[in-house]
Amino acid sequence: MIPVQGFEGQKVAVLGLGRSGLATARALLAGGAEPLLWDDSPEARAKAEAEGFTCTDLMRHGAMEGVACLVTSPGIPHLYPAPNKVIARALEAGVPLDNDIGLFFRSVALGSWDEFDTVPRVVCVTGSNGKSTTTALIHHILQVAGRPTQMAGNIGRGVLDIDPPQDGEVVVLELSSYQTDLARALTPDVAVFTNLSPDHLDRHNGMGGYFAAKRRLFAEGGPDRAVIGVDEVEGRFLANQVAQGPQDDRVIRVSSGSKLDEFGWSVFARKGFLAEWRKGRQMASIDLRTVSGLPGAHNHQNACAAYAATRALGLAPKLIEQALHSFAGLPHRSQLVGERGGVRFINDSKATNVDSAAKALQAFPKIRWIVGGMGKDGGIASLQPFLGSVVKAYLIGHSARDFALQIGDLPHEICETMDRAVGRAAAEAEAGEVVLLAPAAASFDQYPNFEKRGEDFMAQVRTVIG
């Protein structure tokens, strides 16, 4: 646990008692603060009270009096589309807002660090797609290298729930736009921006607000090194804003598809090969085509970002290459479930929007595509340019029939359920083909989350392959 510093003897309100909220309450108490807890859910309040905390309705008259800070959980809106009623009350009263990320950065550096031979470092990863894989890959590379490391944030544990960093340790954090948007302190040593595509636009009042939330990690954080994906205009703009010029090697530009040999420091992948360039010279090359845990151009971009971040931490290219080959990937993200008769079964249940589904569809040459669920605005019509590798689509869930109308002449079958889709795809698939779950839709019509959807896919696959 990271005890929260700076609030000893003061009241700090905590809104939202999920994983991060309860971890925040414990860390505040450990730092000598008096936490005032609230959640609209009676079940969440009961869980907190079972730990010995007292819950206080933050909407009652006078509840904000003497409160030094209101710490809110990521899922609670603080501005758009409208502030939560408790947050609105805090804004009216002038009570500062923060989240667990802000508390982490104000509290993580302890006096004992002066005695360390090597000061701990913090790496933060943000972006639209690939940030979980990139975060986990950085963490894995560090483990293979024998560096002490912890992973937290939007993946794994809450940031205040980790152990205080030790001598030479690297803390790797995945940060969503909800987390970077509100944190009052953001001071990573290395900051990574993977890419940007439309998501969470209601919470940020459009793409401009969404990008601005991501940009805060760099503009306010002032990292020693910035690793920035430049395959979209927002990334190119961000790199331009952070760097003093094209030869400024504090910025490491990353691309999947573009050659970036004219900059001070860059890492890019082309035709399956990763290349590192510094000041006009190629420093290293890695054949990513043989890295089974990172298939497709989108994962090659993740590999480039993780490579750049760990190079910025001083790791050698050969060591990083070794670690890439032992990375198994994350569940529900281009995850190889099994193989039968030359047919591979890939679980990419995390592909909940058209952008991530497009990347999955470009990763394999011959695909039996399982798609559908609770469709998002615009459906899947924009995936038309990426359907050339699809042999047949098997449609499931609420939007199955709508999606069928949007894929043109592509052979398809409306299966509705996962078991029928997997069974039909497996029966028709031929050697060299891939049965791919890349839903391009939310899971909430049939499953509580994308993880449960992916687990169902894996269970059905295991039934089929024996």
Helix axes 100-107, 19-30, angle to 10 degrees: 30
Residues 342 and 218 in one domain: no
Does 310 lie in the same domain as 344? no
Same domain, 186 and 260: yes
Of 303, 325, 347, which residue sits at a domain end? 325
Q: What is the CATH number of the domain that holds 382?
A: 3.90.190.20
Residues 94 and 33 in one domain: yes
pLDDT of the residue at 19: 87
> What span, in angstroms and rounded, lies between the C-alpha atoms of 451 and 111?
41
Binding-site annotation: residue ranges? 127-133
For residues 151 and 276, membership in a common domain is answered with yes
Q: Is residue 6 part of a domain?
A: no
Identify whether the C-beta of residue 217 lies closer than 8 Å to the C-beta of residue 196. Answer: no
Which residues are annotated as part of the binding site for ATP? 127-133
| Low-confidence spans in the chain with pLDDT less than 70 | none
Quick check: is 88 in a domain?
yes
- Give the C-alpha separation, 127 to 73, whole Å: 19
* pLDDT one-digit tens code per residue, 214-270: 999 999 888 999 999 999 999 999 999 999 999 999 999 999 999 999 999 999 999
CB atoms within 10 A of CB 79: 16
What's the confidence (pLDDT) of residue 305?
98
- pTM for the full predicted model: 0.88
Give the pLDDT score at 328.
Answer: 85
Pair (121, 177) in one structural domain: yes
Distance CA 189, CA 223 (A): 5
Cβ proximity of 93 and 64 under 8 Å: yes
H-type alpha helices, 129-232: 131-144, 177-182, 201-204, 207-219
CATH (domain of 229):
3.40.1190.10
3-state helix, strand, coil in the chain (%, to 5): 35, 25, 40
pLDDT of residue 377: 85
Is residue 5 included in any domain, yes or no?
no
Which pLDDT does position 198 carry in this prediction? 80
Residues 344 and 430 in one domain: yes
Q: Are residues 140 and 171 in the same domain?
A: yes
Is 303 within the bounds of a domain?
Answer: yes
Question: Cα(148)–Cα(167) distance, rounded to whole angstroms?
Answer: 8
81 cis-preceded (ω within 30 degrees of 0): yes
If residue 367 lies in a helix (H) or strand (E), which one and from where to where? Answer: strand 367-372
pLDDT of residue 129: 87
Residue 252 placed within a domain: yes
Domain for residue 454, yes or no?
A: yes
Is the domain of 362 the same as that of 255? no
Which structural domain, as residue segments, surrounds residue 389? 335-465
Specify the number of domains making up the chain.
3
The residue from 77, 98, 119 where one domain ends is 98
Residue 436 in any domain: the answer is yes
**One domain, residues 85 and 113:** no
CB–CB of 388/397 below 8 Å? no
Classify residue 144: in a domain, yes or no.
yes
CATH of the domain at 32: 3.40.50.720
Neighbours of 245 (CB within 10 A): 9
Return the pLDDT at 330: 87
Task: Answer yes or no: do 276 and 403 share one domain.
Answer: no
Q: Between β-strands 121-126 and 170-174, what pairing exists: parallel, antiparallel or unpaired?
A: parallel
How distant, in Å, are the alpha carbons of 248, 266, 267, 278, 403 from that of 262? 11, 9, 11, 9, 43
Give yes or no: residues 159 and 115 share one domain: yes
Positive/negative CA dihedral, 396, 397, 401, 404: negative
Q: What is the DSSP string of 397-430?
A: STTHHHHHHHSTT--EEEEESHHHHHHHHHHH--
